[in-house]
Structure 1
Amino acid sequence: MLHKTKNVLIAGLSAVIILSTQVQAVTPSPQMIEQFKQLPKSEQERIAKQYGIDPSMLSGSTSGQAQISNPQIVTPRDVNSKSEPNHDPVVDQSEDEQTNQATKTIAKTEATDDQKQSELKRFGYDLFAGSPTTFAPVSDVPVPNEYMVGPGDNINVQLYGKENNNYQLIVGRDGAVQFPDLGPISLVGLSFSEARVLLQDKIAQSMIGINSSITMGELRSIRIFVAGDAYQPGSYTVSSLSTITQALFVSGGINEIGSLRNIQLKRAGKAVGTLDLYDLLMRGDSSGDKRLQSGDVVFIPTAGASVSVMGEVRRPAIYELKNSETMADVLKMASGLNPGAYPKASVIERYSDKAVKTVVNVDLTASSGLSTFAKNGDVLNVKSASTRVENAITIAGAVIRPGKYQWTNQIKVADLLPSIWGNLTITADLDYSLLIREVNQRGDIEIQRLALGKAITDPHSSYNLLLKPRDTIVVFDYEDREALLTPIISKLKNQSRFGDAVKLVNINGNVRFPGQYPLTMNANVKELLIAAGGLEEGSYTLSAELTRQNISETDGVSIEHKQLSLSEVMNNEATNIPLQSRDTLTVRTLPDWQDNRWITVKGEVKFPGTYSIQRGETLKDVISRAGGYTADASLKSAVFLRKSVKDKEQLELAKLSDELRREIAAKALTRDTPTVGYADAQLMLKELENIQVVGRLVVDLAALDLGIDEANLALEDEDALYVPHNSQTVSVMGQVQHPSTHRFKDGVTFDQYLTMAGGSRKRADDDRIYIIKADGSVALPNESHWFSSGGQMEPGDTIIVPLDTEYADSLTIWQQATTILYNSAIAVAAVATL
């Protein structure tokens, strides 16, 4: 019989294999797989090897390690569906403009606290920030020994020894399994460990020489209910190994008003367990997470009392209260205090019996404060500690390592800054630094001057001061003092109260850093000079002026001017004058003192170069110092440039651009139709703004060379003289057919040169043609003297034919723009030829 069954099975498997090679969708039937399982292990391997199939295909098992995956059963919640709106505090913008600054500050502080409180979230609810999908049991959870076997569970039995067999026993509705050759075995009310022992004993008694291994296979599913304030309450099918927390995840968690601390497990109408999720979330205690049975109800009641915790705690949030918890318990929920907390000044906002919000001070460092009971609706605000450092000394400015340093008893300046080279920057001022010291609890300051060079090199010097807590050392450099002085001056002004004079002094005139300086202790005129970086070159040390305001309650304010000698002040301490608030020292400059002035001479002179000039020196003097002109010098074509003229021309050009812009805007607002488009007007403005003026001043070197004093010129700093070589050309530019340069011919007239350039264009303004002479002067052809001379041209002259602005537009300002453009071009061209 067994042999016949084997042949039938082999034939059936062969047909399946043949068909499966043609149609991939064909698989062995369940009956065939069951018959395959009845064969001995060796026969199963032979059949699989002979037909090249995987034994797991027929045995129902996998040959390799099964890849276990935990299916996603919860997707993110729709935050717009059930989340509470987050309302930012609204600050009333309709306040009276006369409201004082203090009221505004208080309102701002209250608004900030309200905003922080509104940003608090309920603790623990983000654990369930999802909505459930189809539940799939997790297959990688080990079955505990106390697991209660029930209908639908699969029990895997492996027999080995004299015979080798595998059985999958399914627990029936009556709680029994049908074991081959042993009959039904009842497992009602047994745990997995008890069922395993029972089956092993039955096998040992009935099957001699056979050992057994019993494990749990596929587990049954159970039906549970999730009720109360769940995100999606209802009936769910879950694995028989599921617990309360898994039921919460399946149902999407807890809604906004549900309790996290009183989740109840009810069985047959009675509460058999309570879960406090705070134990799990804060302490990792899952002892209350009981296993579910079929028909159990997970009930989530409404949340009870709550307390809000904000400020300097590690986890600000809204926490649910339970069992009369104290502030110590609340701090534990918030994970304790931040390092910057000041728990002694904590406050509790709570509602009184009269439904009015009150504030209760609580010291969270004392047992009385920690034992304070929390009430529903309380808001615990843990304040911040002061950011001020008590036992520190601050070093700022031109030092290599600025910052705060620890104060110790008997510490001095040289102890913090022991080396000039190692502690100070290369630009540090060794003669002027400030020691700023707080003199009272208000933070008022007094200032002493330090000479760091002496303090460091001579530890016994009076400048090596003994330091106190909260002192600040400010080290200045030789480049910029304003940035470091500004906050000090502002502090001195703010601390002046009840009409007290501000401890500030001023120094003006010929010093390196004029301005306002703090009035240091025992300050005098010499120290003020040191603060200003010393005297500039050319200072008049024999006489300086000290202006002082003398204030009298009877006579009012009188101004006193004192004359003093700076040389005596700097060299003789006995003649030094102590300073008072609001004193002003004015340092004069030597009479007739001037800085170095320079003029550049280039071109056809014997010794071109840059020459130093003094006040009153003239152009004739410098030409003589340069050795005079060469034989090829063209005196009429000389170009003289002056910075003051250039600045004036640039200013006039800016004015012209503004006038043109206003003219265009005014024309656009009138009824006249503009004939110049917007793009053309903008192009014109851009050309005007980009013109680089040169500052040419017309000089007559020929007359100067003849000895005419009226042609001489007093020189200024940054003047420049360019003497070109003899030019033998005449240029024609502007609105002509062919702008060009022609060789100069004696006797050729203005009209003839114009004809050489092809004559005027249609848009040329023939009535306004002018000639720029080689010396930079302008001549008009229609002047009487021009006709009397026959219109003779000279070498280096340039004929300018301007645009007829009336032809294109009524804006006559175009002509002015054209004139400037051409004049600048001619000047630049003349300079470029050198």
Structure 2
Amino acid sequence: MISAHLFLLRSRQAGLGLICCVALSTWNAKLTAQTLQAPAASGQNAGSTAGSTANGSFAGVDGTVSPIAGTRGSLSAGQIVAILQDKPEVIVEIKQLAADQLQQQGVKIQPDSITDEALYSQIASNAPLRSAITNFLRARGYVSDADLQQNAAAGGSDRDDDGDALSSTQTLQSLSQVPGANLPLAAADGSSLQDSLAQQAEQGRLQSSGNTTGAGARTTNAAASRQTRDSDTHNTTDVPKVLRQPAPYNLLSMRDLYTQIPEESTHLKRFGSEMFVSRGGTGTMTRAVGQGQESPLDIPIGPDYVVGPGDSLSIDLWGGISQTLTKTIDREGRISLPEAGTIAVAGLTLERAQAVIGNTLKAQYRNAQVAVTVSRLRTVRVYVVGDVQRPGAYDISSLSTPLNALYAAGGPTGVGSLRTLRHMRGKELVAEIDLYDFLLHGVRTGDDRFQGGDTLLVPPAGPQVALSGAVKRPAIYELKHEATLAAVLADAGGSTVAAALSHITVERIDANQHRETVTLNLTKSSTGEAATAAISDFPVRDGDRIQIAPILPFSERAVYLEGHVVRPGRMAYREGMHLNDVLRSYQDLLPEPAAQGEVIRLVAPDLHAETIEFNVADALIGNVSLELQPFDTIRVLGRYDVDSPRVEIRGEVLRPGSFPLSEGMTAAQLVRMAGGFRRGALQQDADLTSYHIVDGNKVIGQRSAIRIGDAVARNDSSADVVLKPGDILTVHQITGWNDIGASLTIEGEANHPGSYGFQEGERLSSVLRRAGGLRDTAYPAGAVLIREQVRELEEKSRAELIHQIETSSAAAKLAPNLSGGDSSATLQLIQQQQEQVLARLRSQPSSGRLVIHINSDIDSWANTDADIEVRRGDVLSIPKRPGFVLISGQVYNASAITYVPGKTAGWYLQRAGGSSELADRKEIFVIRANGLVVGRHSGDGHVLSAKLDAGDVVVVPQKIIGTSQFWRNLLTVAQIASSAAIAAAVAGL
């Protein structure tokens, strides 16, 4: 019943691809900027681990955050997909990992919404994602560090020779070339991208050697053929080749069911055709006798061997004389012996020849012993004709058999027969040879030795059938006496244990008519005896293509366990199995499981998914009598995966932040989790803010004070409280703690410059008195007080001013009465001026100067408004009297003019050559040595009439282009701000 409804759920994934692609793209964009960490222990799922740390990163096995392996050490897209195809449970965890990460980043997506295509596409195009998944697989034990190092050394990472990551297009193109790929990224046979590319590179190298001929070319082609053959090998114990369709739910059971058995597309070879492929000289027989190579003997030469003309004999003498003679039998059948003359040995057996030679030599040499061996065999010329690779005449060894001659001729062609080879001697048929006896059973028939002039005839092949699928030796077989499917299966080694004998399909050719499809009359419920009988009775014909389909690629009697468990994965199902048989105790779960679990059941007949909730604690003690069914998925989540309860601690603790709320956690335990108190913590009491829900529709906050010091240091349970989800504990700071060690720095013309501590509320006059007051050379009017808070305010003000200038529209710069041509030219000038002002504004750092009014007589201004309170980090610089006035801006000679008492700003401006044509004389301003700015609108008369003191700065601004008042005011402020830093620097000279 289950197998009849395996693929009815496929339509439910419609419309999910676009959503998850957009979400995954967002995830990958953020992966570039931050590191995705791998989960912890190998038994913990991605969902439970995602919340294991406060910041959402993933902890390693030892609890530390594990760095991601670099892209150089990461797996390629093809290798990752091969692992995901081979282990479907990994995809479930990878999707859960992706969904958890996206939810932490604010993207609402469920694991079920991420389709396989979207995940595979992102793996191919995103290198950070491949690094993250590689680290995940390493943490889970699917790959080891040694594997990654070996892969990087072998060039298996997804980078080119220059170290740059391969583009997604290159990756997709490489993956699309993998034979039998299911999706654009997955090889159907599970082979890795590295293996595929290595094979393609080898084939390309072979093809590039186009000028290679003869035995060398055949050897190279043989190596490529052998490599292809080895890659096609598929053992019964291997994971079956399947096409995985996108499942609508992220369940391992669904992934098992959403698989299709792929159509067999392997190119079958003729059985025995590879026997005659050269092994590069490593075998016992070679075929190149006619090409000047020696043919090694594959059988020993016995004493009954008949010697003849052309044989070379090796004669060893010892005893009365030690000597070795090599003699070749001439055409007349004789050999020449020393001192004895010639003797005839042709036609004698080797044993008889040794006796004749020995008797002859013993008469010449006293006590001589003789041994005769054949050092080189004579050759005979035979003819190999018919459908062979290289028909013709061959000079072969006199010990050669028809099989040797066939090797020499390169074996049969694709048309030549392997079952009816004929050994002819003239018109007489010496033997008929069936190579299947040798190939299948190791029996060498027709081993009659060749004589000169013999012929080996290879006729065209007889009837043939192709056998593929779940058989041990899929190939094309030539028929001789086989008439039934059982006989052909016997030649193929029989069917594998994974063969579905009820699914045998025969594509048959009705001779010279048409093709038809024939099946055996078997059902799934047929017994083994019935299947064997049907196979034995089924006749085969010439041209049949027989396909034996494999059984279902998944177990039909399994349940699945996932989530917050020690051993996730498949479990065997048995009749009457209950939930307690799977979840027996807390040892089967990871720490702190959620209170509720769920069983996701695929309900027949259409196998739609339904969820059944259960209480985990009741299930463990046997109070839940839920009977399981095949394909049930038992999911137990972690306590922190289900509406994760958390509490927060703030203030004076070592590690403030958000922490998971464990069962029964108290405020004292939370403080200890946060590392304990800092030295500045107020341990008298702390604030606890709690929330509770009223009538299910209203949240009310409540604040209470707890004696946190007694609860932590003295373990006083009466002072401690049990925390609830969402509680916020705030540990306060001791009053004035930040003022401990506070100091300011006095530089320049003080009697005792240096760093001085101060009490809260202490004023500048008090610190100056402790510094010994000011020296006679001091210039208090130019004193500069730098305060960090002022610097921060200046930075914000300057950034806002720059933003206003950059974002001001053209309408704010031009007058409405300008024509088109005038406005274009004016805008160009305004743009240049704007860039100059912005460059000056950015180049001048914020000084942080606080304007003060002090003099050498400290008593005169002490405890007045000018006597300001000092702050931590203040720096007071008291310069010497400068002795000059600085003229800057749009003047002909911007310089420092020697100070002359009583002179006005106009007097100093004239000494600098006066203002230039670009100057805006109406907006000239003066920056006093103490930091005050005197401008046209200061109310003190004309600026140029103001009398200056030493250290003052006269600034002549640039004439602002543009008639908009807003724009003019904006740039005026910018010019003043950029000049303030110059004035502070002058005061310090």
TM-score normalised to structure 1 length: 0.54
Bigger-Rg structure (1/2): 1
Q: Does 1:584 align with 2:727?
A: yes
What is the CA–CA distance in structure 2 between the aligned matches of 1:689 and 1:76, rounded to whole Å? 70
The aligned residue for residue 220 of structure 2 is: 75
How many Å apart are 1:728 and its aligned residue?
0.9
Matches within 5 A, 1:181-200: 196-197=350-351, 200=354
Aligned AA (2:861): G
The aligned residue for residue 565 of structure 1 is: 707
Q: Does 1:376 align with 2:548?
A: yes
How many Å apart are 1:517 and its aligned residue?
2.9
Q: Does 1:729 align with 2:891?
A: no
What is the CA–CA distance in structure 1 between the aligned matches of 2:805 and 2:446, rounded to whole Å? 86
Specify which of 595, 604, 611 is matched with residue 756 of structure 2.
611
What is the CA–CA distance in structure 1 between the aligned matches of 2:681 and 2:651, rounded to whole Å? 9
> Which secondary structure does the structure 2 equivalent of 1:529 belong to?
helix
The aligned residue for residue 675 of structure 2 is: 533
The aligned residue for residue 250 of structure 2 is: 102
CA offsets, 1:209-247, max 9 Å, x none? 4976641168568665796xxxx9564888656997997
Distance 1:756 1:308, change over 3 A: farther
The aligned residue for residue 270 of structure 1 is: 432
CA offsets, 1:430-461, max 9 Å, x none? xxxxxxx98364546179xxxxxxxxxxxxxx
Distance 1:645 1:694, change over 3 A: same
The answer for unaligned runs of 5 or more in structure 1 is: 1-68, 188-193, 280-284, 310-319, 331-346, 362-373, 393-436, 448-489, 497-501
Q: Does 1:718 align with 2:849?
A: no
> Which secondary structure does the structure 2 equivalent of 1:305 belong to?
strand
The aligned residue for residue 848 of structure 2 is: 695
Distance 1:266 1:247, change over 3 A: closer
The aligned residue for residue 632 of structure 1 is: 777
Judge conservation of contact 1:77–1:131 (CA < 8 Å) in 2: yes
Aligned AA (1:695): G
What is the CA–CA distance in structure 2 between the aligned matches of 1:359 and 1:598, rounded to whole Å? 95
Q: Does 1:790 align with 2:945?
A: yes
Distance 1:237 1:587, change over 3 A: farther
CA offsets, 1:661-717, max 9 Å, x none? 44599999x993653799998898677556532322222224995428333434443
Q: Does 1:155 align with 2:315?
A: no
Q: Percent identity?
A: 17
How many Å apart are 1:575 and its aligned residue?
1.4
Aligned AA (1:579): V
> Which secondary structure does the structure 2 equivalent of 1:701 belong to?
coil
What is the CA–CA distance in structure 2 between the aligned matches of 1:359 and 1:576, rounded to whole Å? 76
How many Å apart are 1:740 and its aligned residue?
2.9
> Which secondary structure does the structure 1 equivalent of 2:940 belong to?
helix
Specify which of 929, 935, 946 is matched with residue 774 of structure 1.
929
Q: Does 1:515 align with 2:515?
A: no
Distance 1:527 1:783, change over 3 A: closer
Judge conservation of contact 1:131–1:251 (CA < 8 Å) in 2: no
Judge conservation of contact 2:761–2:869 (CA < 8 Å) in 1: yes
Aligned AA (1:698): V
What is the CA–CA distance in structure 2 between the aligned matches of 1:641 and 1:648, rounded to whole Å? 12
The aligned residue for residue 295 of structure 1 is: 456
Aligned AA (2:935): L
Q: Does 1:824 align with 2:977?
A: no
Aligned AA (1:216): R
Specify which of 583, 600, 605 is matched with residue 745 of structure 2.
600
Judge conservation of contact 2:563–2:638 (CA < 8 Å) in 1: no
The aligned residue for residue 376 of structure 2 is: 216
What is the CA–CA distance in structure 2 between the aligned matches of 1:743 and 1:773, rounded to whole Å? 16
What is the CA–CA distance in structure 1 between the aligned matches of 2:448 and 2:839, rounded to whole Å? 84
Higher alpha-carbon deviation: 625-634 or 178-187: 178-187
The aligned residue for residue 672 of structure 1 is: 824
The aligned residue for residue 494 of structure 1 is: 641
Specify which of 873, 885, 899 is matched with residue 744 of structure 1.
899
Q: Does 1:575 align with 2:718?
A: yes
How many Å apart are 1:659 and its aligned residue?
4.1
Q: Name the structure, 1 or 2, with higher relative contact order (CA <8 Å, separation 6+).
A: 2
> Which secondary structure does the structure 1 equivalent of 2:824 belong to?
coil
What is the CA–CA distance in structure 1 between the aligned matches of 2:980 and 2:297, rounded to whole Å? 99
Judge conservation of contact 2:308–2:329 (CA < 8 Å) in 1: no
How many Å apart are 1:632 and its aligned residue?
1.8
Q: Does 1:304 align with 2:467?
A: yes
Aligned AA (2:786): L
The aligned residue for residue 11 of structure 1 is: none
CA offsets, 1:236-292, max 9 Å, x none? 88865699799789969999xx99xx976834483443378899xxxxx99999999
The aligned residue for residue 955 of structure 2 is: 800
The aligned residue for residue 645 of structure 1 is: 790
How many Å apart are 1:727 and its aligned residue?
1.3
Judge conservation of contact 1:438–1:446 (CA < 8 Å) in 2: no
Distance 1:622 1:164, change over 3 A: closer
What is the CA–CA distance in structure 2 between the aligned matches of 1:533 and 1:246, rounded to whole Å? 87
What is the CA–CA distance in structure 2 between the aligned matches of 1:234 and 1:680, rounded to whole Å? 89
How many Å apart are 1:626 and its aligned residue?
3.2
Judge conservation of contact 1:132–1:250 (CA < 8 Å) in 2: no
CA offsets, 1:369-401, max 9 Å, x none? xxxxx9933278699999999999xxxxxxxxx
Judge conservation of contact 2:420–2:434 (CA < 8 Å) in 1: yes
Aligned AA (1:307): A
Aligned AA (1:74): T
What is the CA–CA distance in structure 2 between the aligned matches of 1:624 and 1:124, rounded to whole Å? 110
CA offsets, 1:337-387, max 9 Å, x none? xxxxxxxxxx8888746999x9999xxxxxxxxxxxx99332786999999
Distance 1:746 1:546, change over 3 A: closer
What is the CA–CA distance in structure 1 between the aligned matches of 2:900 and 2:489, rounded to whole Å? 111
Aligned AA (1:589): H
What is the CA–CA distance in structure 1 between the aligned matches of 2:781 and 2:523, rounded to whole Å? 94
C-alpha root-mean-square deviation of aligned residues, in Å?
6.5
What is the CA–CA distance in structure 1 between the aligned matches of 2:785 and 2:747, rounded to whole Å? 10
Distance 1:226 1:776, change over 3 A: farther
TM-score normalised to structure 2 length: 0.47
The answer for unaligned runs of 5 or more in structure 2 is: 1-213, 233-240, 282-286, 424-430, 473-487, 506-518, 526-545, 568-583, 595-636, 814-819
How many Å apart are 1:635 and its aligned residue?
1.4
CA offsets, 1:547-593, max 9 Å, x none? 44456778976655443323443425341445143262533525744
> Which secondary structure does the structure 2 equivalent of 1:274 belong to?
helix
What is the CA–CA distance in structure 2 between the aligned matches of 1:183 and 1:808, rounded to whole Å? 133
> Which secondary structure does the structure 2 equivalent of 1:295 belong to?
strand
Distance 1:443 1:272, change over 3 A: same
How many Å apart are 1:634 and its aligned residue?
1.2
Q: Does 1:439 align with 2:598?
A: no
Judge conservation of contact 1:158–1:167 (CA < 8 Å) in 2: yes
